[in-house]
Amino acid sequence: MVGLLLLMLPELAWEYQLLGFAAFSVVSIVVWHLVLKRHPTVSDQPKLNRRGEQYVDRVFTLDEPIVNGQGRIRVDDSTWKIHGSDCAAGVQVKVIGVDGVVLKVDIHT
């Protein structure tokens, strides 16, 4: 855009060119934001960067008990904090939700 402006006004000072670039940048960001808001990008893997949400509805066996509503669970190659009803080690729990980096679990029946 600044190049087209410079074609029309070849004597335009560099300060105004820089100002024009800044203005066009802000306008283009706002326009692109509005376009994406109306037409969001659809992904074939919507949970790709939401690791905790990938575990919702999966069932795991507790290695250690849940005490006072809190515990830890081994999921694949990592350990996660969990919140749920108190229960003993060895009980199967189902992940029913995610709160930040904490998995919410319920006893699996």
Q: What angle do CA 28, 23, 3 make, to 5 degrees?
A: 85
User: CATH class for domain 51-107?
Assistant: mainly beta
Each domain of the chain, given as residue ranges in start order, spans: 2-38, 51-107
- In single-letter form, the type of residue at position 26 comes to V
Q: Look at the pTM and tell me if it is higher than 0.85.
A: no
Q: Which positions ≥6 away from 106 have C-beta within 8 Å? A: 84, 85, 93, 94, 96
Calculate what percentage of the chain has a pLDDT beyond 90: 73
pLDDT above 80 (res 42)? yes
Tell me what pLDDT residue 109 has.
76
The residue-averaged pLDDT of 24-47 equals: 90
- Compute the Cα dihedral for 40, 46, 49, 53 and give only its sign: positive
Cα 106 to chain centroid distance, Å, stands at: 24
